[in-house]
Structure 1
Amino acid sequence: MSGGHPAIPAEPAAPAAPTLTDRLNGLDRLVQAGTGRLDRPLLDEAGALLDRAGQRLRLSGEHTVVTLAGGTGSGKSSLFNAICGLELSPTGMRRPMTSKAHACVWGLDGAGPLLDWLDVDKRHRYARASALDMERADSSLQGLVLLDLPDHDSIQAMHRAEVDRFVTIADLLVWVVDPQKYADAALHRNYIVPFARYAGVTLIVLNQVDRLAPDEIDDCVADLRRLLEAEGLARPRIITTSAVAEDGVHGFRDVLVDTVAARRARSERLAADVDRVAERFAEHRLAAEPPTTVDENRRTELVEALTDAAGAPAVAEAMESAYELRASDFVGWPVSALITRLRSDPLRRMRLTELREELRNAFTGPIGAQQGDVDNALAGVTDGITGELPVHWARSVRAAARSQATEIPEALGESLKEALPTFNQVPRWWWLVKTWQYFLILVAVLSVVWIGVLVAYGVLKVGGDDPGGLIGQAGLIPYVAVLVVCTLGMGWLTSSACRNLVALSSAKHGDKMEEHMREGIERVARDKVIEPVAADLRVYAGFRHDVDIALGRPPA
């Protein structure tokens, strides 16, 4: 449109926060990444949470599990009966009254498997029809599973164990206290402080307020709030109740109605569980971005050290000597070789034996570095990386660098063998020179025979008659002799020139061989050392990302 304002590009939407399923999946990946690296108790705790969360999520999401927990005489069983509208749980001051958890369920569909998972005795399960419990249209308790627990301060260990089990799996924790013992040390030390992070799914009920004057109720609530906040329970939710007063539990009932209607307590409880464990994983993550692999300088140092450990320079030098020795069989002057064989030279024979043994070993013998040399080469490969990692991951990266150390000597040997040529690899020009040399020898031999014939027929007159021509003219002898000398000289000059050429090419051949061996050694270093280290660093990078996911932070 003409005359219109230019369109303003919309700002990209902020990434959505991970869902509970995403967070649990992230926690599962943290366990997998931490296996073999982090402490076993943390991994076991996270594994137990994943199992518990998986089981709870597979069970009824229409029901909210609410526990009533408290000390002896706090009146939780009376409160339980008041909400249920029936005398379902025994009440009194005798220690203890409630020895097993009692459950009252509003809405039975799907509640059976949930109660089985909660391990509530069938004798202590009660059901209420939601229609009978509706005092107004918005106050239905349909979907509530209300549990009355034994006293947390019971003298019976099995009762305390029952409380400990339920407070770790309940969707909403309700702590019932009375005006006389709301500061009970056992309650605060064993439950309030350890579960302070669960403030979002924790409700504090100050019961029996009928025993207090109105102004005393406010003072008591204020003091209780101060105490809870000092113990780390952020913004504690406190309500007052009286199981004996008229409308004394309506406030508590309204909270239950709202909680059941929202159907968020299950997810909020599991989210709080994940928060607690994820924060422990976060202790094993540094804020700084980690390196992703071994830097180039240390890669070069590693390859150089492995090259020395494998003896590649010595093999290349032996290959140069072997190359020259092999060339002498082709480009050397056969006449000189014959004279050398006729002369006994033990030193030369020994040298030939050594070179041939080096050549044989280079191709067929075991090639490999000593384990100690390899270990020395690996000593500093992770320096500069582990200093930027948490302790457990630094140890893991160092272990990754050495994970295949015992395989490296053999791998180095194989890489060197693959780089070495075979015996039948002969340059074509060697064959041409050898053919030329034997052609010259043939010419020299024929020339010598010719000289003999000229002497026999041209000088000694064998047979009496002068045959004439090329076999009877003695005057050709000097020319044929010159031909012999020239032929021999040409062969010697050819051999000398080729030896110089071989000396030059052998150096290039050695350099080329060392380059090929170095390429093989670089592959070994990459496959056996660099890649394992990089893979471990990638696991750590994924670990850092999954910590954010498990903590519920949007991905960067």
Structure 2
Amino acid sequence: MTTSAAPVAPPAPALVARLDGLERLVTGGADRVDPALLDDAHDLLDRAGQRLRLSGDHTVVTLAGGTGSGKSSLFNAICGLDLSPTGVRRPMTSKAHACVWGLDGAGPLLDWLDVDKRHRYARASALDTRADQSLQGLVLLDLPDHDSIQAVHRAEVDRFVTIADLLVWVVDPQKYADAALHRNYIVPFARYAAVTLIVLNQVDKLQPGEVDDCVADLRRLLEAEGLAKPRIVTTSAVSDEGAASFREVLVETVAAREARTGRLATDLDRFADRFAVHRGDDEVPTSVPVERRAELVAELTAAAGAPAVAEAMESAYELRAADFVGWPVQTLVSRLRSDPLRRMRLTELREELRGAFTGPVGAQQGDVDAALVKATEGFTDALPDAWARSVRAAARVHAHDLPESLGASLRDVLPAFNQVPRWWWLVKTWQYFLALVTVLGIGWIGVLVAYAVMGTDADTNRLLGDAGLIPYIAVLAVCTLGMGWLTAAACRNLAALSSAKHGDRLERHMRERIERLADAKVLKPVGEELARFARFRADVDALRG
């Protein structure tokens, strides 16, 4: 049989949109959905793509049935020729036989169906005057017995029932309730009622009144097994008119040219239900809730020790300020008492803090892990298990390098200690001026006392020899001492307020760095995963229609 290619009519846009949605589900569900489901969906996409690229003018109809059901005889009756072997010995059909009405585009379709070229037959050609032109576009397949003792025969049936446009199950009055047929094919394919036809063959063996009873019992059995509104026709291959009702169904099916898309639509319905299990019913946020974000930043801030660092820098600021605004006399006394801790804090604190951020000392791994766990608590409970795991994994994707990143982001925030406010220098100059006046006053008093002891004539130099100036100079020295002490006290209070603001500003800067780091390394991956799940849910809904 030789055929030529025919232009393929484009499938319905709705079907293409659903197939695109299934493809997105396969991509979006990778590592998050049952791998077996993804493999089956990928197979369907591959099969659907191939079928839609082949002839849409042909409808593939399979005749399947058990041993002795008479499907080969029915096949021959429809074809009008003895094409498929029939006989008493079972099984008679070991390979699928195909009869085609209309050759254009049938060749590639039969190649895809993998029908042996020796078992391909053509009708409705220009030279075939006996052919039924009303069946133009029909590809009728006679399959091996589904209950054959040969495993290869059963495998052949299993392959064709997954790719046929219209499934025709041929049963006989004696074995229409065959458990193998119903268990292996009717129940699993109950959803495919729209593209399934049940043919009760050999009704010539029944009395006229028994046919309706047999059909009613068969219908009851099929409906009980989930085949909604089953289509049942009765046939008998022993007479020319015995297959008329079946031929009418074939003519209607071929004329409608909807079996191909109907079969694929049913396939998509089945996968929509399977994917719906992984969709979940509860609404889930598409980003991390605001309260969870705030808690994460607070946890990471505490893990990085930012409050402690800000407090240490605040204390260092106060100590540094004391060197400038403190009363020099008091500073001199304190320096006479060696204080290595104070000296270390002023000269080495910043480098020690910078060094603390270079490794896990700055942010303990355990504290970071605890913060990441809390970041996904609550809202992930509504997710299906696989997606909940993927969201939690997204939060931990940078868990191992996060402590180091925290340290690196905070290290450069620390200010340099050589940055001295201008007013410190003014206060320091004023304090040293007061100290100088005090020292000069005390020295002046000493000179006056010395002159008085030695009995030097006051007329020589009243400023140096007049002991009556001592009270005035003493008052001046006491006043400068008091002014220095008061200045130091006031400036220390002012420095304390400034240091508190300095610490708050430093902690705020560190917190801003931590917020940016949390957004980039935790919240962004989690948000992307939640958005991916939202798209998955939308694609499932679109696939379900």
User: TM class, shorter-chain normalised?
Assistant: 0.7 to 0.9
Q: Please state whether the residue corresponding to 2:118 is helix, strand or coil.
A: helix
Q: Partner of 1:67: helix, strand, or coil? A: strand
Q: Is the 8 A contact 1:393 1:540 kept in 2?
A: yes
SS of the equivalent of 2:194 reads: helix
Alignment pair present for 1:360 and 2:355: no
Q: 1:543 aligns with which of 525, 536, 541?
A: 536
- Aligned counterpart in structure 1 of residue 405 of structure 2, from 386, 408, 411: 411
Aligned partner of 1:513 in structure 2 is 506
Aligned to 2:8: none
Distance of 2:48 and 2:344 partners within structure 1 = 75
Residue 77 (structure 2) aligned to one of 66, 76, 82: 82
Contact 2:100 2:106 in 1 (8 A): yes
Q: What is the match of residue 341 of structure 2? A: 350
1:435-514 equivalences under 5 Å are 435-437=429-431, 493-514=486-507
**1:232 match:** 226
Greater mean deviation of Cα atoms: 160-169 or 66-75: 66-75
CA distance in 2, matches of 1:134, 1:266: 28
Q: Deviations over 1:421-462 (max 9, x none)?
A: 233433232343345556667888999999999999xx99xx
Instruction: Measure the CA separation in 1 of the matches of 2:100 and 2:437.
Output: 118
1:288 match: secondary structure = coil
Check whether the contact 2:434–2:480 (CA below 8 A) recurs between aligned residues.
yes
Which residue identity is paired with 1:150? P
Cα deviations across residues 150-193 of structure 1 (Å, max 9, x unaligned)? 11111111111011011011111111112222222211111111
1:19 matched to 2:14: yes
- Tell me how far apart the structure 1 counterparts of residues 117 and 433 of structure 2 sit (CA, whole Å): 110
Match of 1:41 in 2: 36
The answer as to 2:420 corresponding to 1:426 is yes
Structure 2 CA distance for aligned equivalents of residues 267 and 315 of structure 1? 68
User: Which residue does the alignment assign to 2:99?
Assistant: 104
Give the Cα separation in 1 of the matches to 2:384 and 2:187.
Answer: 29
User: Which residue number in structure 2 is paired with residue 8 of structure 1?
Assistant: none
For 1:522, give the aligned amino acid: E
Task: State the aligned residue count.
Answer: 524
Task: Report the alpha carbon displacement of residue 374 of structure 1 after superposing the two structures with TM.
Answer: 1.5
Percent of aligned positions with the same letter in both sequences? 72
Q: Which one is further off, 428-437 or 474-483?
A: 474-483
Match of 1:155, as an amino acid? I
Report the counterpart of residue 158 of structure 1 in structure 2. 152
TM-score by length of 2: 0.85
Q: Larger deviation: 425-434 or 53-62?
A: 425-434
How do 1:44-443 residues align onto structure 2 when only pairs under 5 Å count?
44-129=39-124, 140-334=134-328, 336-341=330-335, 343-345=336-338, 348-354=339-345, 356-366=347-357, 368-437=362-431
Task: Identify unmatched segments of 5+ residues in structure 2.
Answer: 1-11
Query: What is the CA-CA distance between 1:194 and the residue it aligns to?
Result: 1.0
Distance 1:287 1:492 in 2: 73
CA 360–467 in structure 1, closer or farther in 2 if over 3 Å, else same? farther
Distance 1:132 1:217, change over 3 A: farther
CA displacement 1:377-429 (0-9 Å, x = unmatched): 23333332133233333333333333332233223223333443233433232
How many Å separate the matches in 2 of 1:423 and 1:236?
A: 88
Amino acid at match of 1:532: P
Change (3 A) 1:304 1:229: same
SS at match of 1:379: helix
User: Is 1:526 paired with 2:515?
Assistant: no
What secondary structure sits across from 1:204 in the alignment?
strand
Distance 1:438 1:130, change over 3 A: farther
Residue in structure 1 matched with residue 5 of structure 2 by the alignment: none
Matched letter for residue 279 of structure 1: D
Q: 1:223 to 1:382 in 2, by over 3 A?
A: same
The answer (yes or no) to whether the contact 1:130–1:140 under 8 Å persists in 2 is: no
Q: 1:250 to 1:488 in 2, by over 3 A?
A: same
Query: How far, CA to CA, are the matches of 1:18 and 1:145 in structure 2?
Result: 25
1:32 equivalent in structure 2: 27
Q: Are residues 143 and 449 of structure 1, via their aligned partners in 2, closer, same or farther at CA, if it must alter by over 3 Å? A: farther
How many angstroms does 1:229 deviate by?
A: 1.2
Structure 1 residues 348-357 or 486-495, which shifts more?
Answer: 486-495
Aligned letter for 2:16? T
Distance 1:64 1:475 in 2: 134
**Contact 1:321–1:355 (Cα < 8 Å) also in 2:** no
Moved more, 509-518 or 124-133: 124-133
Q: Which moved more, 1:434-443 or 1:193-202?
A: 434-443
- AA at the equivalent of 1:309: A
| Farther off after superposition, 521-530 or 61-70 | 521-530
Tell whether the 8 Å contact from 1:68 to 1:80 is kept in structure 2 after alignment: yes
1:181 and 1:448 map into 2 onto residues whose CA distance is: 130
Over the residues paired in the alignment, what is the CA RMSD in angstroms? Answer: 3.4
Q: Residue 239 of structure 1 aligns to a residue in which SS?
A: strand
Which region of structure 1 is more displaced relative to structure 2, 238-247 or 208-217?
208-217
Q: Distance in 1 between matches of 2:323 and 2:473?
A: 29
Shift of 1:84: 2.0
User: 1: CA distance between counterparts of 2:417 and 2:136?
Assistant: 89
**Cα distance in 2, alignment partners of residues 418 and 82 from structure 1:** 89
Secondary structure in 1 matching 2:397: coil
Q: Which amino acid aligns with 1:302?
A: L
Label 1:450 to 1:142 Cα distance change in 2 as closer, same or farther (>3 A). farther
Deviation at 1:352, TM superposition (A): 2.4
- Counterpart Cα distance in 2 of 1:45 and 1:423: 66
8 Å Cα contact 1:210-1:245 kept in structure 2: no
Which range moved further: 443-452 or 19-28?
Answer: 443-452
Distance 2:170 2:276 in 1: 34
Equivalent position amino acid for 1:517 in 2: M
Can you give the 5+ residue segments of structure 1 that lack an aligned partner in the other structure?
Answer: 1-16, 461-465
TM superposition shift of 1:125: 1.8
Deviations 1:304-334 (A, max 9, x none): 3222222122111101112123323433455
The 3-state SS of whatever aligns with 2:173 is: coil
Partner AA of 1:391 in structure 2: D
TM-score by length of 1: 0.84
Deviation readout 1:123-158 (Å, 9 max, x if unpaired): 222222355778899x62222211111111111111
Cα distance in 2, alignment partners of residues 134 and 516 from structure 1 = 92
Which residue identity does 1:116 align to in structure 2? Answer: D
Secondary structure at 2:64 match in 1: strand
